[in-house]
Structure 1
Amino acid sequence: MKKILTTLYVTNPKAYLKLDGGNIVVTSNHETVAKLPLISFEGIVTFGYPGASPGLMRYCLEHNVALSFLSETGQFCGRLTGELNGNVLLRRAQYRVADSETEALQLAKAFLIGKLFNQRWVLARAKRDHSLVVSATQLDAAIQQLREGLQALKKVNDATTLRGIEGNTARAYFSVFGELILQQQSEFSFSDRSRRPPLDRTNALLSYAYTLLAHDCAAALEAVGLDAYVGFLHTDRPGRTSLALDLMEELRSVFADRFVLTLINKRMVRKRDFMSQEDGAVLLTEQGRRTVLAAWQDRRSEQLVHPFLKEKIQWGLVPHVQALLLARYLRGDIDAYPPFLWK
């Protein structure tokens, strides 16, 4: 089993990255802030960076350390990766399936089955564990809509209907997401999902967690030799890692959403960790990002029994395992792609 390594997150928008031997040196205003051995990292994510040295970039390319550049607010800017792993036959199989409406639809359905199944599980568990403080009536209604959505997916024959089911069930899920916020309810009130930009603190956390999850999924896909930019559910768009967005659909609720709820309900983040902009956008402060990133690393190291493999792994390896299963399906080693169905 692959060993999970650490991702280095550089949140200082004034940080410059350079190479010193086998170490990465982080400087700010020409002063060294940190010096860390690069062998410990599988990826580097920078937020609002002023630059990285050519030497560091070459090291990352040669040693398959993914170097991702995000804006200070967490918007994806670009990604530097080395030579693709795997072989050209795997990627040719991926492109062939992506070009086939019928075959691509089957994979898209599998991703959405995982998404709806896991969303329903998150709501059902909240109802069971917190029955005295949540609205069972509202949760039951959303759970029923997700159940009906799962049944409808089995009969879908076209992408338009598929996306309609996805949209309807997403609205049902997020219509009751605020019920899962048990602490700091006035500071983290939630009514609906807002993305660009996030308009409240809970949405800011969700968007940030989804950015981190997308990075992990893209790295996992590239590690097994797949092209993270060619998806089956999400259509091709320049600069968008569509397959990473596909893969993360089934992991959003059980990984990212539960992570956000833990941050809020355990008071790991507070009102002071956010700032508002003139256009209404609500963003994490630098200290808030540090808090979230530290908790994200801890979350990735927690263990679970994978529902398909029946093996104990770390949560941070779940994207890698799902990417491997997807590659095995595309190669013809297994008859169907098994989505991550958490229980």
Structure 2
Amino acid sequence: MRKLLNTLYVQNPDAYLSLKNENIVVLLEDEEKFSIPLVNIENIVSFGYRGVSPALMGKCCENNIGLYFMSSNGKFLAKITGRTRGNSTTRMRQYELYKDKKWCLDFSKDIVATKIYNTRYVLNRSIRDNKEKVDVSRLIEVSDYIKNNISHVYDFEDIDALRGFEGIVARKYFEVFNDMILKKKDIFNIQGRNKRPPLDYVNCMLSYLYTILSFEFISAIETVGLDPSVGFFHEIRPGRNSLALDLIEPFRAYLVDRVVLSLINLGQIKKQHFEEKEGGAILMTDEGRTIILNAWQEKKKEILRHPNIDEKIEIGLIPFAEAQLLSRTIRERRESYPTFIVK
């Protein structure tokens, strides 16, 4: 297992990134403000519009460092990657499996079952930790619905029907999401999932961190030599990293939703960290992004025992561990990919 490296987030829109003696240098108005050795960085996510020097782009490609460009409101714009890595026969096998409807359906059933199982873990964790502060009956109702219906995932013989069921469970979960919010309920509340653009503070944070998590999975998938655009559960579309979306499903609630709930319930994020645009779109301020990214980076440092490799690893290494497991599954033609079930 490789060492956990860091993601460099550059939030100032006027920042320019360059290379100096194997160091990443951040410049503002041509003045050096910050530098960090390349060897300490795994990904760079820039919210600026001034750009990155060609020398740094080349070095990132050479060292397999993900370089991603975002708009100020967190919309993905572009990425720069180096040469394709890994064994080409593994990718060929990936494309073959994409055409195998049975394998795709079986893979998708495991992904959906694991996602809703891990979602139930989040509900039950909230019941256990905050039973004096939450509407326990509402949370138990959805938890029991998942418990009683999770086995039905394996009854579906059509992937579209499976997607429909996954959508039903997701809607039920988000219907009680507000019940897990303990502070400032008048400000932080969610009326179902909405995005592009998000229309409330909670959806703004969720969408932002889901995007960040997807970047980390894209980087891991490319590192092991798979194609992040060819998935088995999510449909292939131009510009969509379907395989990354497949792999993040079991981790949405377990990682992202819990970070968002903690930020709200601990009072770390406030109304002042957002701004509303015409039409109702909600954006984060620079300070808001900094708070959220700091919480995310701290979360990634936590240690857990990975259920499928029986090793203690940092949470930040989960994307790489999952990409390795899937690559091995594809390469060795195993019948199923071992999904991450929270215990």
TM surpasses 0.5? yes
Q: Residues 145 and 172 of structure 1 are in contact (CA less than 8 Å); yes or no, is this contact kept in structure 2?
A: no
- The aligned residue for residue 20 of structure 1 is 20
How far apart, in 2, do the equivalents of 1:125 and 1:157 lie?
32
Could you tell me which runs of 5 or more consecutive residues in structure 1 were left unpaired when the two chains were aligned: none
Matches within 5 A, 1:2-151: 2-151=2-151
1:190 counterpart = 2:198: no
Q: SS of the counterpart of 2:155?
A: coil
**Alpha-carbon deviation of 1:125?**
1.6
Letter in 2 for 1:76: F
**Cα displacement string for residues 168-220 of structure 1 (whole angstroms, at most 9, x for unaligned residues):** 00101100011111122222122321112111111111111101110111111
- For residues 148 and 166 of structure 2, the distance between their equivalents in structure 1, rounded to whole angstroms, comes to 12
Letter in 2 for 1:253: A
The 5-angstrom pairing of residues 1-343 of structure 1 reads 1-332=1-332, 334-343=334-343
8 Å Cα contact 1:146/1:172 also seen in 2: no
> Is contact 1:78-1:239 (8 Å) kept?
no
Return the alpha-carbon distance in structure 2 between the equivalents of residues 317 and 197 of structure 1: 30
Residue type of the alignment partner of 2:95: Y
SS in 2 for 1:24: strand
The one-letter code of the counterpart of 1:236 is: I
Q: What is the TM-score of this pair, normalised by structure 2? A: 0.97
Deviation per CA, 1:71-120, whole angstroms, max 9, x where unpaired? 11111111111123220111111111112221111111121111101001
Post-superposition shift, 1:260? 0.7
- Could you tell me which runs of 5 or more consecutive residues in structure 2 were left unpaired when the two chains were aligned: none
Give a deviation string over 1:258-296, Cα, whole Å, max 9, x none: 011111111121111111111101111011111111121
Distance in 1 of aligned mates of 2:84 and 2:144: 43
The amino acid across from 1:269 in the alignment is I
SS in structure 2 of the partner of residue 68 of structure 1: strand
19-28 or 156-165: bigger deviation: 19-28
Q: Which runs of 4+ in 1 moved over 3 A?
A: none
Deviates more, 1:155-164 or 1:26-35: 26-35
TM-score, normalisation: structure 1: 0.97
User: How far is the alpha carbon of 1:334 from its aligned partner?
Assistant: 4.1
**What is the alpha-carbon root mean square deviation over aligned residues?**
1.3
Quote the Cα distance in structure 1 between the aligned partners of 2:27 and 2:297. 23
Quickly say closer, same or farther: Cα 1:333–1:93, change in 2 above 3 A.
closer
| Structure 1 counterpart of 2:43, one-letter code | G
Task: Give, in whole Å, the separation in 2 of the partners of 1:61 and 1:319.
Answer: 20
